[in-house]
């Protein structure tokens, strides 16, 4: 059973960079043809996909966030990470990591982390 | 960019059938996936590829997709089905990205 766990600071100052890590257990992050994604959810609002990475390092980002997002992978640690620069209060949200299946022209998420709340405030 | 439209809320009595719609331009040509999210919890995949159920999801959950509307149907609704439901597609246009609907709050009366 694959499990994902987000970690990182719960409080980030405006204009700084938000950094989160997702640790995958129960299987190798490199096994199978999976992508790994970050998704966020502001309080009381819907889900927003941030971006995905393949274990080769290939990435795709939400066009609305692309200029500020970097997703990377460390296969030796079975982890992937998110960096979001120049944050504002609008970036306050619960951030989820998820396993991202991309097959036959479509994508979906079959395993999710529990989520971690990141607040942007001075 | 591709837009998915869901009703903000749907109410249903226990034992009845709930139908949650997801509208999008020619959505029938895409594969639609559905997630259930209970308060304080991460989303859970309940339907993928329009109508397939992951292991462990009750047969009461089913899906369909045609034309401009995809539908998640929950039969014999139980109190435990009360949650937010989100539809999702992959937009394979030049931007290539994941799109979520705005979510529907299912209330069991």
Give the 3-state secondary structure of residue A78. Answer: coil
Give the 3-state secondary structure of residue B50. Answer: coil
**Predicted pLDDT at A68:** 97
Please judge whether A105 and B95 are an interchain contact, meaning their C-beta atoms are less than 8 angstroms apart.
Answer: no
**Predicted pLDDT at A55:** 87
pLDDT digits (tens, 9 = 90+) for A70-116: 999 999 999 999 999 999 999 999 999 999 998 877 889 999 999 99
Alpha-carbon gap: B2 to the closest alpha carbon of chain A (Å):
12
Please judge whether B42 and A96 are an interchain contact, meaning their C-beta atoms are less than 8 angstroms apart.
Answer: yes
**Predicted pLDDT at B63:** 98
Give the confidence band of A33 by pLDDT, cuts at 50, 70, 90. confident
**Predicted pLDDT at B94:** 61
**Predicted pLDDT at B99:** 93
Count of A-B CB contacts under 8 Å = 63
Chain A residues whose beta carbon lies within 8 Å of the beta carbon of residue B92: 105
Using a 10 angstrom Cβ sphere, with 0-12 exposed, 13-18 middle and 19 or more buried, the burial of residue A121 is exposed
Percent of chain A residues topping a pLDDT of 90: 88
- Chain B residue with Cα closest to A110: B45
Sequence-distant contacts of A62-68: CB under 8 A, at least 24 apart: A62/B97, A62/B98, A63/B1, A63/B95, A63/B97
CA A106, CA A99: separation in Å to the nearest integer? 14
A42 touches chain B (CB under 8 A): no
CA B29, CA B40: separation in Å to the nearest integer? 33
**Predicted pLDDT at B96:** 66
Tens-binned pLDDT, residue by residue, of chain B (109 aa): 899 999 999 999 999 999 999 999 999 999 999 999 999 999 999 999 999 999 999 999 999 999 999 999 999 999 999 999 999 999 877 666 899 999 999 999 9
């Amino acid at each position: 059973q694959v499990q994902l766990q987000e970690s990182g600071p719960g409080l980030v100052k405006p204009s700084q960079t938000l950094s989160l890590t997702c640790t995958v257990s129960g299987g190798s992050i490199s096994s199978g043809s999976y992508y790994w994604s970050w998704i966020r959810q502001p309080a009381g609002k819907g889900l927003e996909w941030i971006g995905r990475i393949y274990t080769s390092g290939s990435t795709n980002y939400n066009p609305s966030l692309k200029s500020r997002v970097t997703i990377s992978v460390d296969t030796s640690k079975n982890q992937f990470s998110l960096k979001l620069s120049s944050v504002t209060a609008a970036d306050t949200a619960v951030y989820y990591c998820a396993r991202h299946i991309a097959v036959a022209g479509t994508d979906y998420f079959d395993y999710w982390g529990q989520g971690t709340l990141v607040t942007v405030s001075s | 960019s591709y837009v998915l439209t869901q009703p903000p809320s749907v109410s249903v009595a226990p034992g009845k059938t709930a139908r949650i719609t997801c509208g999008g331009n020619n959505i029938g040509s895409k594969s639609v996936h559905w997630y259930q999210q209970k308060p304080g919890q991460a989303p859970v995949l309940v339907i993928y590829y329009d109508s397939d159920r992951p292991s462990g999801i009750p047969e009461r959950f089913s899906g369909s997709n045609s034309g401009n509307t995809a539908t998640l149907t929950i039969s014999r609704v139980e109190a435990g089905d009360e949650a937010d439901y989100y539809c999702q597609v992959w937009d394979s246009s030049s931007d290539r990205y994941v799109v979520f609907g705005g979510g529907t709050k299912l209330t069991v009366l």
